[in-house]
Amino acid sequence: MATTLERVAPFHNEQIRNFSDPADRASLEAALERARAALRRHYPLLIGGQRVETEEKIESRNPARPAEIVGTVASASLDQAKAAIEAAARSFESWRRVAWEERANYLFKAAELIRRRRDDFNALLVLEVGKSWVEADADTAEAIDFLEFYGREALRYASPPPLVPIAGEENRLEYVPLGVGVVIPPWNFPFAIMAGMAAAAIVSGNTVVLKPSSDSPLVAAQFVDLLHEVGLPPGVVNFVPGSGRAIGDALVANTKTRFVAFTGSKEVGLHINELAGRPQPGQIWIKRVIAEMGGKDSIVVAADADLDAAADGVAASAFGFQGQKCSACSRAIVESAVYDAFVDKLLQRVKKITLGDPLQPETYMGPVINEVALKSILAYIERGKTEGTLLAGGKRAPGEGWFVEPTVIGDVAPDAVIAQEEIFGPVLALIRAKDYDDALKIANNTEFGLTGSVYSRDDAKLERARDEFHVGNLYFNRKSTGAMVGAHPFGGFNMSGTDSKAGGYDYLALFTQAKTVSKKIGTAGGGRAGGE
């Protein structure tokens, strides 16, 4: 008889559209019109299934048009954050007993509903965080992928592999949920990462308090509404936007919080890890932290590389979504023998980048997320001008939004500030390496270890990189961005996080704990000597 997993179609990634098809283009244009007609829509808190209004509101603004308020959400107080944890704890007692198969079905239903509303979510991503049409579609497609993949993983976890048999015993390993989790997603993938972390938690039998980024709360609000539309029980996901300063620490420190899933900056991630590791009065468990904290990602261009392919890959990795990806290439490490030729090809590609309002389909690069980011990026560029040679960009671009020109700075020293610190913007440092040995050495000289790429035609060089280039996601002869669920389990080493491989086959294990149950069969009582 076929198992539940065998009856489900094999997983496949959603196709990302380029909008060359007139029907795709018309669909997103219509969705953008609907989204603009619904500007300033408000979303309350959701605690235990109850919608809660607050005096304080968070305004989500269009980074391409900062005067334009896309929508608002209620901002939770400390008391409301505590109430959300309490609601999640109450709901956990019943949700943890729901079968894996039933929990997976909620994810499958949500994925199908998102497919039907794909361009409405895309439109919100364009308006709320300034994604281009293709980047928005990729974000939505990845959210669907996470739901479909983790749903299938839940079916697999429902039937653990058999244990080594022991005569006279019936033994089983069961994966049981942890409890209440606080999910803190980033603004740069406000749909995919948010939905992925929340879905992994709930399909594993946990309940969630979701605190989205204040720069992208609307996508999370619509996703939570969609989950309840497909019938998710009240209190399984509780929606509590609010500033990290106001409620973040309280959510992490609460004695009923069992785990925290976080994606964001190194500084915040380390603070969460420290706070979670400090037992509170009455706490009876060690809190688990699942963290992805960014990177300073390098692409190595060997002397034998296809320079056209390398230039394409570096440009796409450095300037896709304005360089606001933790996997973005912020350092190109190029062997000296081909450095000048590579730079010429790269600059030709950078000149072709279209910068403007992402409402327009031809826009490749839109605005950075907010004014704070703009000022920080421009300050790094000024520092970079003293640490290397400005080859392209270097200024705030025209327009009312937070636009920064795609910027390339050449002949940067490996230990320069702009070669070491995460900028999170469209700024690329070019580093000249003496040879391939030197290039690999430079590639490992930061505190991060998230993604990296190597362009080379020499298999021996690629194999050396496989062994020596210390990152969680390493790519050969392709860009450093664009990890696909199931194909490229994603997570990094060192200060890039806990190497929790999102979209991988061991990810749900992070949201569960393994319980071994042994039953004596045959004669009653007894046991055997030895063992633990």
Domain contains 378:
yes
Same domain, 184 and 332: no
Domain contains 7:
no
8 A C-beta contact, residue 366 and residue 356: yes
Same domain, 372 and 283: no
First to last CA, the chain: 37
Instruction: Give the torsion through C-alpha atoms of 32, 35, 36, 41, to 10 deg.
Output: -170
Model pTM score: 0.96
8 A C-beta contact, residue 211 and residue 184: yes
* C-alpha radius of gyration, the chain, whole number: 24
Same domain, 281 and 370: no
Is residue 169 annotated as a catalytic residue, yes or no? no
Phi–psi pair at 391, nearest 5 degrees: -110, -25
User: How many domains is the chain built from?
Assistant: 2
Tokens of 134: 């293709």
| Cα→Cα distances 152→20, 199, 532, Å | 32, 12, 34
User: What is the maximum span of the chain, computed from C-alpha positions, in angstroms?
Assistant: 82
CATH code, domain with 426: 3.40.309.10
Dist CA 135 CA 452 (whole Å): 20
Domain contains 2:
no
Q: 86, 292, 335, 422: which is the annotated catalytic residue? A: 292
Q: 86, 135, 153, 326: which is the annotated catalytic residue? A: 326
Angle in degrees, CA 426, 427, 430, rounded to 5: 140
Same domain, 215 and 344: no
Same domain, 222 and 310: no
Domain assignment of residue 443, given as a range: 297-476
Same domain, 352 and 426: yes
Contacts 24+ apart (CB under 8 A), 165-171: 168/520, 168/521, 168/522, 168/523, 169/518, 169/519, 169/520, 169/521, 170/518, 170/519, 170/521, 171/516, 171/517, 171/518, 171/519
Dist CA 333 CA 451 (whole Å): 14
Domain contains 489:
no
Q: Which residues are within 8 A (CB) of 325 and not within 5 positions of it... i.e. 6 or more apart? A: 188, 189, 481
Domain contains 8:
no
Same domain, 320 and 213: no
Is residue 329 annotated as a catalytic residue, yes or no? no
- Residue 315: alpha-carbon gap to chain centroid: 21
Same domain, 275 and 301: no
Q: pLDDT (tens digit, 0 to 9) for every residue of the chain, 532 residues total?
A: 345 666 899 999 999 999 999 999 999 999 999 999 999 999 999 999 999 999 999 999 999 999 999 999 999 999 999 999 999 999 999 999 999 999 999 999 999 999 999 999 999 999 999 999 999 999 999 999 999 999 999 999 999 889 999 999 999 999 999 999 999 999 999 999 999 999 999 999 999 999 999 999 999 999 999 999 999 999 999 999 998 888 999 999 999 999 999 999 999 999 999 999 999 999 999 999 999 999 999 999 999 999 999 999 999 999 999 999 999 999 999 999 999 999 999 999 999 999 999 999 999 999 999 999 999 999 999 999 999 999 999 999 999 999 999 999 999 999 999 999 999 999 999 999 999 999 999 999 999 999 999 999 999 999 999 999 999 999 999 999 999 999 999 999 999 999 899 999 999 999 999 999 999 998 654 455 455 6
Domain contains 481:
no
Same domain, 265 and 387: no
